[in-house]
Chain A
Amino acid sequence: MNDFDVAGDEMDDHWFSDAESESILKGDPMSGPSELHELVGGLRETFSTSSDVAAGPALNEFLTVIDLTTTTGVPTGHSRSKKLITGIGTFVATTTGKIVLGTTVAAASVSGVHAADIVDVPGLPDAPAAEVQEVESAAESESVEVTETTEAPAAEDGEDTDELALDEKSKEEFEIDDEAEDDEDFDDESDDDSDEDKNHGQVVSEFARTTELEGCEKGEAISELAKTKHDDDDDDESDSDDDEADDEADDDSDDSESRCKDDDDHDSDDDDDEDDDDDDDDDDDHKGNGKEKNADKGNGRN
């Protein structure tokens, strides 16, 4: 028997027209037997769903796909971030990703604890801010004792730095490191320069006291004597422009020159400004060296 065959008992009281069937199926209570209405109504109430079905991963591929015909083929930020997040998630899910992530987190944690001075971890440098404060305080105080305590160990550590530089850097850089090494004896050099300046100043001063000249003649003579040192330094500077080490020596000589001029008070204000600049440079050198030395100091703890 198929769906269209008429059964023997079909021609009975339970016969519906198409219109009546539609009314029953649509829930019209006035058509058909009440039991049939209850059945149809019960089916509708029981199985009708009011909430959407959550889309699974395969279906979501369609629901989040972009319209390729309306864009220029460039992925949107959403799809890019989604791919990025998916890629990162895939990588982290691998063994290598887990190792890398774990190592990074552990390193960050140790560094953070060390930076917060909670734990002193050997092999890690101190916080940069503390170094700068130390250097600045040392430069401002100009205390001999403080300078000695900070630079004495740094001089030894600087040699270690130079050894590393010898392996890794070029010959030119090596020369610069030699300068840095020389700068470690900065106090000694500056003392030499100051002695030299003092000698020249003493010569000029002694000349001023002992000369028999007077008035403007005395002044010119003193000025010429004082300028002799200045001219010598200028000659040295012009001869050694290409050499960085010599340039730094020139800075030192300029420094001494400024002191001669300060003593003499014969030069113009512009020259004084230059001298101030030179002094600033020297201060910067001090700070720079101090930083390096302090950094070396940190390395020296190793």
Chain B
Amino acid sequence: MTELDDPLGVHDDSASDFASTLDAARRGDGPAFETLYRSLNRRVVSFARARRAPDPEGLVNDVFVRVFSNLSDFEGNEEQFNGWVFRIARNVLIDGARQRARRVQEVLGSDHGEVPIEQPGPEDIAAAQIHGEELLRHLEVLTTDQRDVILLRVVADQSLEAVAASLDKTVGSIKSMQRRALQTLAREISRQAVSQ
């Protein structure tokens, strides 16, 4: 970044603040952990709710325990850190969905084929009563990655760089994915309007 791009040096200050906070957290400083937690916990729980996590608050705790436990392994800037946190959140969500699917298979006692990752459970049925369920139903036409890109950009308010880090893809790939996701949603909405 040149001086023309950031004439006031605000970005540099922010970057240095984040770097110092991250260093303090690596040394085990409690307030630094709290700063990192406060900067992201709301976004993570929003993303977890939009992903129909059975226990969004518990998921946030699990995610940050993993983040703080492996903080020494992380290298990068703030955007990459945010992407890393949401990558862990996605992994926790996927692990939870797989465990629930495994339990469903064990209860059924037979193999009914591949269980979708986001198979609605009792908690999901209860969550259908909220207003957001109708909105989420529109996203079911998207692939998992496309839906995560939309949710990370809209609900978790993440940048292209952070989303790219979360999904381990390039920024260009994310741009392409979000463009196609929006086109698919627009067509689906038009189709539903015509059918009604």
Q: Which residues of A contact B (CB under 8 A)?
A: 2-4, 9-10, 12, 14-18, 21, 24-25, 32-33, 35-36, 39-40, 42-44, 46-56, 58-59, 62-70
Contact = CB atoms under 8 A, between A and B. Distances in A.
Counting from the closest, the 4 A-B pairs by CB-CB distance are A46-B132, A14-B186, A67-B29, A56-B61
A43 B134 CA distance: 10
A52 B47 CA distance: 14
B103 interface: no
A47 B155 contact: yes
29 contacts: A3-B145, A3-B176, A14-B187, A15-B183, A25-B182, A33-B186, A35-B190, A35-B193, A36-B189, A39-B185, A42-B132, A42-B135, A43-B135, A43-B136, A44-B155, A46-B130, A49-B43, A52-B42, A53-B44, A53-B56, A53-B60, A56-B58, A58-B61, A63-B30, A63-B37, A65-B33, A66-B28, A66-B30, A69-B27
Contact of B182 (A2, A16, A44, A46): A16
A55 to B, nearest CB: 7
Contact of B64 (A10, A25, A36, A59): A59
B35 to A, nearest CB: 10
Contacts of B173: 3-4
Contacts of B100: none
B87 to A, nearest CB: 17
A178 B180 CA distance: 107
Contacts of A67: 24, 27-30
A9 B130 CA distance: 33
Contacts of A47: 46-47, 49-50, 132, 151, 155
A43 B183 contact: no
A64 B68 CA distance: 13
B154 A43 contact: yes
Given A50-B42, A64-B30, A9 B182 contact: no
A49 B65 contact: no
Nearest to B187: A14
B41 A53 contact: yes
A65 to B, nearest CB: 5
A228 to B, nearest CB: 88
A3 B146 contact: yes
Given A44-B155, A47-B49, A65-B28, 13 more contacts: A16-B186, A18-B179, A21-B182, A33-B186, A39-B135, A42-B135, A47-B132, A52-B41, A56-B61, A59-B61, A59-B64, A64-B30, A69-B27
Nearest to B169: A3
A53 B178 contact: no
Contacts of A14: 183, 186-187, 190
Most chain B beta carbons < 10 A, residue from A9, A36, A48, A53 = A53
Contacts of B99: none
Interface string B163-175: 0000000000101
A216 B105 CA distance: 130
A17 B179 contact: yes
A250 B180 CA distance: 114
Nearest to B189: A35
Contacts of B155: 43-44, 47-48
Given A25-B153, A25-B154, A63-B30, A36 B185 contact: yes
A291 to B, nearest CB: 56
Contacts of A4: 173, 176-177, 180
Given A44-B155, A67-B30, A25 B131 contact: no
A66 to B, nearest CB: 6
B136 to A, nearest CB: 8
A234 B183 CA distance: 122
B98 interface: no
B57 A63 contact: no
Contacts of A48: 42, 46, 155, 157
A44 B49 CA distance: 12
B89 interface: no
B61 A68 contact: no
Given A25-B154, A46-B132, A39 B177 contact: no
